[in-house]
Structure 1
Amino acid sequence: MEDEYEFGFTEDPKFSVERYEEMIRNHDQYFFDAQAFENIIDYYIEKNDATKALQVVEYAKNQHPFAAVFLIKQAQLLVVTSKVNEAFAALDKAALLEASDADIYIIRGNLYESMDRYTEALENYEKALNMAEETDDILLHIAYVYQNMGDYEQAIHYLKECLKQNMENQDALYELAFCYDVIDNQQESIQFYQQYIDNEPYSYAAWYNLGNAFTKLSLFEKAIDAYDYAILIKDSFASAYFNKGNALVNLEKYAEAIEVYRQTFEYEQPNADTYCAIGECYEKLEQMDEARSFYKKSVRMDSKLADAWFGIGVTLDFEERYFEALHFYRKALDIDALNADYWFAIADAEYKLGHLPEAEIAYEKVVELNPLDVDAWLDYSSILYEQERLVDATEVIANAIKNNPEAAELYYRMVAYLFAKGDYNEALANLELALTSDPDKHYILFDYLPQLQKNKVILDIINRYTR
């Protein structure tokens, strides 16, 4: 029989690993204390080598049969290798040896959570809470379970508890923002992050989430201030630059937005979304060559980014290159067939090319996808009116009014069509409706049918409402 060698926890972890590997090579039998075995197991876990880590666990269990830690390590590794039943069995054995080890219940909770068995997951996490010294991660897991159950109020409660335990738990900060987002309570979100920042003024994540909450309430100036603080604390925070850029776009400060978007490239690889956002800014500045250049960079990086293909189309449309624009609009539509904006652009380009049947089909699709788009209804009816299809034009406007009963411009357009059709009484009835809705927009009627400016009956009715 070969000699046994003993290695203890005073040894350098690297030395323990070398001795363990030497033992395997020599088919020998060395003795390691529990800490040395833990170091060796952790070494292989860090190397993402679960198979070797599990082999070490078997040696450790043989040499230390009453140490629950190795059964717990085994369970963790079995979870990674998707051997769920074996993981449960290892945890049961560990509980017999050391029932007060919180890790047993945390791992068991993880397993139940992954199986969508939320009640059992919560039971185990609650047990772990009473045993563990540091509980912020357990509280975070409980919050995840409540999120999965759709109970966001409870999730928020546990996330706040988590942050009381550990103010620097970044995951909890982001999850809290997500929960407030889902329940659409940005005011409470803002209140929480402002209080949090009073205690932790250097938390870049809190400033960032505060900026996002302001953005969702369209308070873009305040959002920019919050993003600036996040960037001041962590100047490599690419997401804060990107969201600041978006806020500047919403304020129509396109040149400033471009500069901020470009700053993200200093801290992360350029990506398709940022190129697309820069392209859109140049488009708004009517610098179409620059815009097209960035949209092309975007689709080269991500050929499935519909907005970038669409953007190329918009730049060509602006240059009255409608036939080319259509090609790119259709590429965008291939990716996102239910996008009403893409259909609208196609309808408009087809119309400008004189393709009225194609334009009509596209407009029909726009109002089907977005029946609240008043401009689409007006344009759709207009191409029917141009073809002297007055019955069809009035039908389209009637449908538009059903979907948008508050839109005065639809009533005025209806008046114009009814006059053109010769339905004077109905036209005057609709004129009263239009004037009741918004008397200041009566000019729409004369834009469409200038000859009505000489109609005394109409002028009298208008005067009654506009005096």
Structure 2
Amino acid sequence: MDVAIKAFQQVLYIDPGFSRANEVHLRLGLMFKVQSDYESSLKHFQSALIDAGPASFSKLEIRFHVAHLYELQNKHRAAREAYETLLQEQELPNHLRADIQRQLGWMYHTVDSLGEKSYRELTAVQYLQKSIEADPKSGQSLYLLGRCYSALGKVHDAFIAYRNSVDKCEGNADTWCSIGVLYQQQNQPIDALQAYICAVQYDKGHTAAWTNLGILYETCNQPRDALACYMNATRGSNKPVNPNLAPRIKFLQQQLANAPMPSVTKPRQLMSIEEAWNLPVTTDMRPATTPSASSPTSPGTNSDRTSTSTSSKCRFYITSSRTKQA
């Protein structure tokens, strides 16, 4: 990429009046953005914005990138203003409207400076719902909506959003990790295990899923499996590692080294990580209510029925699967 950047910069230096200078600025803006050089990226996008020459991105799309750069630079108020101004454009295409509303929704959910928490959470949900209306196929917006519902304690709504996200984009490890968190919070360790395994099978370097899986195993008094998960959480990921992992790993290593050999094998609450890893990756889920004595219902029937109580267990029954990829 550095070679391409130098080549494009040479074009602008040698011929400032180049007929496709607008496209060159656009390409440089994109490449600098990928390299996290946001100031340089912003400079080139702004140059592309004022250039009347032809380019592969519309002016509205370029303005979206400018707003997103403000967001990446933590200039949240400038980003919000730029996004909201874009939403007022009559000719804004639906896919771009959905992207803008998704960004605004997640900003309101995560940025404290944008207002009081209850207001921000409500606004976040509203923007994400509008994003889904503009682009019903967006698994990412559904996933983020689930995160917002989860933060609000709306467990049932969160599960439904996650389920719909999986329907749109089954291989999203983040969604499966969040499903695992909800199951764990609902005290459903076996279901949580299955969800976390799905997450790490889709993304073997998913630090959060491996960490949460380790916590789950520790909670179930399976330190050897917990240690294996924590070790995996520290490998092969560009995401920051939880600083508490290192002392936790050291503690478990010492505990296992000093533990006497058990004379009788105790029953385990969860299957081992090796056994769980061999489970097929789930590709289809549907919620079902827990059958009552007066209404015997198997998981294979009444697929449209869901519990409306957030205090009841929200179980996703597996209806199909495929072999995980190596």
AA matched with 1:210: V
Q: Find the counterpart in structure 1 of residue 262 from structure 2.
A: none
Shift of 1:176: 3.7
Counterpart mapping for 1:433-448 below 5 A: none
Q: Find the counterpart in structure 1 of residue 104 from structure 2.
A: 244
Shift of 1:324: 1.4
Structure 2 counterpart SS, 1:337: coil
**Structure 1 residue 258 and structure 2 residue 125: aligned?**
yes
AA matched with 1:179: M
Q: Find the counterpart in structure 1 of residue 36 from structure 2.
A: 184
Q: Find the counterpart in structure 1 of residue 251 from structure 2.
A: 382
**Structure 1 residue 356 and structure 2 residue 223: aligned?**
yes
Deviations 1:183-218 (A, max 9, x none): 432112334445665788x94233211112122223
Shift of 1:224: 1.8
Conserved 8 A contact 2:207-2:241? no
Shift of 1:269: 3.0
Conserved 8 A contact 1:360-1:383? yes
Q: 1:163 to 1:258 in 2, by over 3 A?
A: farther
Counterpart mapping for 1:139-288 below 5 A: 150-155=3-8, 158=11, 165=19, 174-194=26-46, 203-233=59-89, 234-235=91-92, 236=94, 237-251=97-111, 253-288=120-155
Report the Cα distance in structure 1 between the residues aligned to 2:230 and 2:7, rounded to whole angstroms: 46
Structure 2 counterpart SS, 1:246: helix
Shift of 1:325: 0.5
- Aligned residue among 135, 160, 164 for 1:297: 164
Q: Find the counterpart in structure 2 of residue 313 from structure 1.
A: 180
Q: 1:254 to 1:157 in 2, by over 3 A?
A: farther
Report the Cα distance in structure 1 between the residues aligned to 2:85 and 2:142, rounded to whole angstroms: 25
AA matched with 2:142: Y
Conserved 8 A contact 1:203-1:230? no
Deviations 1:1-49 (A, max 9, x none): xxxxxxxxxxxxxxxxxxxxxxxxxxxxxxxxxxxxxxxxxxxxxxxxx
Which structure carries more helix by proportion? 1
Report the Cα distance in structure 1 between the residues aligned to 2:167 and 2:73, rounded to whole angstroms: 34
AA matched with 1:177: G
Report the Cα distance in structure 1 between the residues aligned to 2:41 and 2:109, rounded to whole angstroms: 23
Report the Cα distance in structure 2 between the residues aligned to 1:388 and 1:207, rounded to whole angstroms: 58
AA matched with 1:341: A
AA matched with 2:42: I
Conserved 8 A contact 2:132-2:141? no
Report the Cα distance in structure 2 between the residues aligned to 1:334 and 1:304, rounded to whole angstroms: 9
> Greater relative contact order (Cα 8 A, min sep 6): structure 1 or 2?
2
AA matched with 1:356: P
Gaps of 5+ in 1: 1-146, 391-467
Report the Cα distance in structure 1 between the residues aligned to 2:134 and 2:212, rounded to whole angstroms: 36
Counterpart mapping for 1:376-455 below 5 A: 376-384=245-253, 389=258
Which structure carries more strand by proportion? 2
AA matched with 1:295: Y
Deviations 1:37-70 (A, max 9, x none): xxxxxxxxxxxxxxxxxxxxxxxxxxxxxxxxxx
Report the Cα distance in structure 2 between the residues aligned to 1:151 and 1:379, rounded to whole angstroms: 45
Deviations 1:419-453 (A, max 9, x none): xxxxxxxxxxxxxxxxxxxxxxxxxxxxxxxxxxx
Report the Cα distance in structure 1 between the residues aligned to 2:174 and 2:200, rounded to whole angstroms: 10
Shift of 1:256: 2.1
Structure 2 counterpart SS, 1:363: helix
Q: Which has the larger radius of gyration?
A: 1
Conserved 8 A contact 1:156-1:179? no
Number of residues of Structure 1 aligned to a counterpart in Structure 2: 240
Gaps of 5+ in 2: 53-57, 113-119, 260-326
Q: 1:335 to 1:299 in 2, by over 3 A?
A: same
Conserved 8 A contact 2:142-2:161? yes
Structure 1 counterpart SS, 2:39: helix
Deviations 1:127-170 (A, max 9, x none): xxxxxxxxxxxxxxxxxxxx6x8321332565898998579x7x
AA matched with 2:139: A
Q: 1:288 to 1:382 in 2, by over 3 A?
A: farther
Shift of 1:330: 0.4
Shift of 1:344: 0.7
Counterpart mapping for 1:96-135 below 5 A: none
